[in-house]
Amino acid sequence: MSPLLSVSRRLRRTPFSDGVEAAGVKGYTIYNHMLLPTVFRSVEEDYHHLKTAVQVWDVACERQVELRGPDAGRLMQMLTPRDLRGMMPGQCYYVPIVDETGGMLNDPVALKISEDRYWISIADSDLLFWVKGIAFGYRLDVLVDEPDVSPLAVQGPQADALMERVFGHDVTNLRFFRFGWFDFEGNTFAVARSGYSRQGGFEIYVEGHQNGMPLWNALMEAGRDLDVRAGCPNLIERIEGGLLSYGNDMTRDNTPHECGLGKFCNTQTAIGCVGRDALLRVAKEGPIRQIRAIAIEGSAVPPCTAPWPVTVNGRKVGQITSATWSPDHKTNVAIGMVRMDHWDEGARVVVETPDGARQASVHEKFWY
Amino acid sequence: MSPLLSVSRRLRRTPFSDGVEAAGVKGYTIYNHMLLPTVFRSVEEDYHHLKTAVQVWDVACERQVELRGPDAGRLMQMLTPRDLRGMMPGQCYYVPIVDETGGMLNDPVALKISEDRYWISIADSDLLFWVKGIAFGYRLDVLVDEPDVSPLAVQGPQADALMERVFGHDVTNLRFFRFGWFDFEGNTFAVARSGYSRQGGFEIYVEGHQNGMPLWNALMEAGRDLDVRAGCPNLIERIEGGLLSYGNDMTRDNTPHECGLGKFCNTQTAIGCVGRDALLRVAKEGPIRQIRAIAIEGSAVPPCTAPWPVTVNGRKVGQITSATWSPDHKTNVAIGMVRMDHWDEGARVVVETPDGARQASVHEKFWY
């Protein structure tokens, strides 16, 4: 079913690739020009394990864009309609990044390291190019670069138990979307309570390529009796959880409001955001289409490799961009965007899959 | 050997993907968030066929960045150290694109459509983000966007014969790196004499996703007696030919001069190029490392998935970034970057491959 991936230097290996291979990775995707594992045993077996135990994920492909210098804060606010005035060092903010038309360029998590230093942990687009272009065009006093920092995620209900063994008890005191600095074998890494699952856990920002495998091995060793395994963002779990994927569920064509990210937009007060003018109207009136959870009836759907039309009485009212069978919920779970006249809870629609039309229903909440 | 690729909407299909699949594609890479075929029968069989017949390549992943408006020409010159004053509509220019430090952001071919309109046919990076950032930062009067244009390449010694049957005799009068407008079934497409091989051929800039498969099918049908096949950029042929690959053989760490692209840099006269100041010194003094052809002795090397050190007496003097066995030249052919004290014709070096150290020699010319 899946085609083969031809490897090359351009599809960058990560500091953890040796560990991923030793753990028997079975599939990859490419994300920020880098290898991102997609499956170890099977997507379904990985899913059940993620929900019950603990996994270590190579998410080095979440590359960092570092802003450093007197204008770092100003530049950070130019990038996003979220009001950053209350952001303190040690906080992570999920920040929609928009261009001058309000179109989504990325949906990263930003870490405020200090008043004049931020890391932006990016989704799959070369956000560095936009940030460098803006910084140069505005002659800002800031350095913008990709540092040698590679996130490693620890996810699952046993994540606290595992992390405590490697980083000490204090790491378990981290609150959600906060980060602190923790030692490992003479190095100090930022560790955040965050991650691309709904099962809880941490992301460790590993500085220095050479420090990757020692930490990977230490986590695997320490978690043996917790049944720790190599894992990866899981297609089923992320759709159940409504975790959006840039490039899948949203693109530059979409505003944050269409993506259901209006709550992260303070368009009135985010002074300086380059997309603010473009977003003022949509912020006031609301979008005319929006991300929704969609339950697709019938047997397991095929992989969604291109948008599937959502129709009502033969007229297109939206599209599906991620879909899979959910073993726990015994239905196909999907993420799509639906026009306002059909986005209310329980609305009945038809999804045109490659295997034929399916009955489906629209939901305001995801499956978590 | 090759891992599996997990497909999703984020890894965009192209207007030609149905044809590629019907032709039995065996492997892909990801390029500009899009599927790019890498092998049909085998890399070696594809290579022999490319050198003797004609192939149709899905290179839709060469996405276009369109500049349109009164400031399009000014913006285009800001992006590259190549002097564009002599560029006429109908010309293609290979243009190194650099940031404010002179680091390579992309190495596309630019098409001048008219005085106020350019297409930049990009290598694997989101150049659109940089161009939009610069245009916005400088408040230029220009629209920057990705149009619905997907290149389809026709490559090989029989390319003229095939193209003539579909587009008429005039298409064979195109000179190298010139383009003209040619009709196909009621549509008019830009057709250039260009392409990512040394075997000659054309690139057709197909406007409109829906026009992809009709053209694909027409070329396949018209070339049946020419043994036309679906093909793709061929690893062996491109290394023999010294065709660089952005992300493989060069990155943002490199100047154009290091990449052997000094001849495309008119640093003195490219007034307005944002990287000009940074490049003036290297333009005058020359780089201290540069791209070279490297012949690696012994049996076939494994795939190069990370830079291989090039050493002399145990000291690193460079790195290999692309390498493969050449059936025609009966040696391993490679692209690397070597320090000036070891880059002269015939210099002896050692290449540290994952399979062990190999003797190798440095060459100033590639194998074509």
pLDDT single digits (tens) A3-50: 999 999 999 999 999 999 999 999 999 999 999 999 999 999 999 999
Is residue B190 domain-resident?
A: yes
The domain that holds B299 is classified in CATH as 2.40.30.110
B70 and B137 inside one domain = yes
A161 and A219 inside one domain = yes
pLDDT value at A57 more than 70: yes
- Nearest CA to A174 out of A200, A199, A192 is that of A192
Give me the pLDDT at residue A179, please.
98
Answer whether A10 sits within 8 Å of B245, measured CB to CB.
Answer: yes
Q: Report which secondary-structure segment, H or E, holds B131.
A: helix B127-137
Per this entry, what is the length of chain A? 368
Q: Report which secondary-structure segment, H or E, holds B202.
A: strand B201-207
A131 and A171 inside one domain = no
pLDDT value at A328 more than 70: yes
CB contacts, 8 Å: A107 with chain B: none
CB contacts, 8 Å: B38 with chain A: 6
pLDDT value at B1 more than 90: no
CB contacts, 8 Å: B306 with chain A: 9, 13
Q: Which residues contact A101 (CB under 8 A, 6 or more apart)?
A: A275, A278
**Count of structural domains within chain B:** 3
Q: Confidence class of residue A1 from pLDDT cuts 50, 70 and 90?
A: low
Answer whether B28 sits within 8 Å of A5, measured CB to CB.
Answer: yes
B31 and B135 inside one domain = no
Residue A134 has its nearest CB partner, among B5, B9, B137, at B137
Beta bridge partners of B21: none
**In the structure encoding, which two tokens stand for residue B11, read together?**
């890894």
φ/ψ of B76, rounded to 5, equals -55, -40
The domain that holds A38 is classified in CATH as 3.30.1360.120
Strands A27-31 and B4-5, sheet pairing? parallel
Measured in angstroms, the CA of A224 and the nearest CA of chain B are apart by 27
A86 and A37 inside one domain = no
- Compute and round to an integer the Cα radius of gyration of chain B: 21
pLDDT digits (tens, 9 = 90+) for B200-258: 999 999 999 999 999 999 999 999 999 999 999 999 999 999 999 999 999 999 999 99
A57 and A97 inside one domain = no
Q: Determine the residue among A1, A2, A10 to mutate to test chain B binding: the one whose Cβ has the most chain B Cβ atoms within 10 Å.
A: A10
- Whether the predicted interface score ipTM is above 0.95: yes
Q: Looking at A239, A260, A280, which one is the last position of a domain?
A: A239
Q: Report which secondary-structure segment, H or E, holds B76.
A: helix B72-79
Burial of A253 (0-12, 13-18, 19+ CB in 10 A): exposed
Is residue B28 domain-resident?
A: yes
B312 and B338 inside one domain = yes
Is residue B165 domain-resident?
A: yes
Asked if residue B360 lies in contact with residue B349, where contact means CB atoms within 8 angstroms, the answer is yes
Is residue A273 domain-resident?
A: no
Domain span at A349:
289-368
pLDDT digits (tens, 9 = 90+) for A62-115: 999 999 999 999 999 999 999 999 999 999 999 999 999 999 999 999 999 999
Per this entry, what is the length of chain B? 368
**In the structure encoding, which two tokens stand for residue B38, read together?**
């890498």
Answer whether B29 sits within 8 Å of A10, measured CB to CB.
Answer: yes
B321 and B191 inside one domain = no
Return the residue of B nearest to A335 by Cα: B9
Is residue A203 annotated as involved in ligand binding?
A: yes
A162 and A218 inside one domain = yes
B32 and B177 inside one domain = yes
- Nearest CA to B80 out of B134, B124, B31, B149 is that of B134
A293 and A366 inside one domain = yes
**In the structure encoding, which two tokens stand for residue A260, read together?**
């259901």
Half-sphere exposure of A40 (CA within 13 A, CB side): 23
Q: Confidence class of residue B2 from pLDDT cuts 50, 70 and 90?
A: confident
Strands B27-31 and A4-5, sheet pairing? parallel
Residue A28 has its nearest CB partner, among B6, B131, B247, at B6
pLDDT digits (tens, 9 = 90+) for B40-69: 999 999 999 999 999 999 999 999 999 999
pLDDT digits (tens, 9 = 90+) for B129-165: 999 999 999 999 999 999 999 999 999 999 999 999 9
Half-sphere exposure of A129 (CA within 13 A, CB side): 24
CB contacts, 8 Å: B4 with chain A: 2-5, 26-28
- Nearest CA to A31 out of A50, A56, A13, A4 is that of A13
Give me the pLDDT at residue B134, please.
98
Q: Looking at B112, B145, B178, which one is the last position of a domain?
A: B145
CB contacts, 8 Å: B128 with chain A: 129
Asked if residue A139 lies in contact with residue B139, where contact means CB atoms within 8 angstroms, the answer is no
pLDDT value at A147 more than 90: yes
B155 and B140 inside one domain = no
Is residue B202 domain-resident?
A: yes
Q: How many CB pairs under 8 A join A and B?
A: 168
Answer whether A9 sits within 8 Å of B322, measured CB to CB.
Answer: yes
CB contacts, 8 Å: B305 with chain A: 7-9, 11, 13
Q: Looking at A114, A145, A176, which one is the last position of a domain?
A: A145
Is residue A153 domain-resident?
A: yes
Answer whether A126 sits within 8 Å of B129, measured CB to CB.
Answer: yes
DSSP string, B213-251: HHHHHHHHHHTGGGT-EEE---HHHHHHTT---BTTTB-
- Nearest CA to A270 out of A77, A116, A114, A125 is that of A77
Answer whether A7 sits within 8 Å of B305, measured CB to CB.
Answer: yes
Quickly tell me which residue has 């200090």 as its tokens.
A114
Is residue A4 domain-resident?
A: no
Q: Confidence class of residue A2 from pLDDT cuts 50, 70 and 90?
A: confident
Is residue B280 domain-resident?
A: no
Q: Determine the residue among B39, B129, B235, B321 to mutate to test chain A binding: the one whose Cβ has the most chain A Cβ atoms within 10 Å.
A: B129
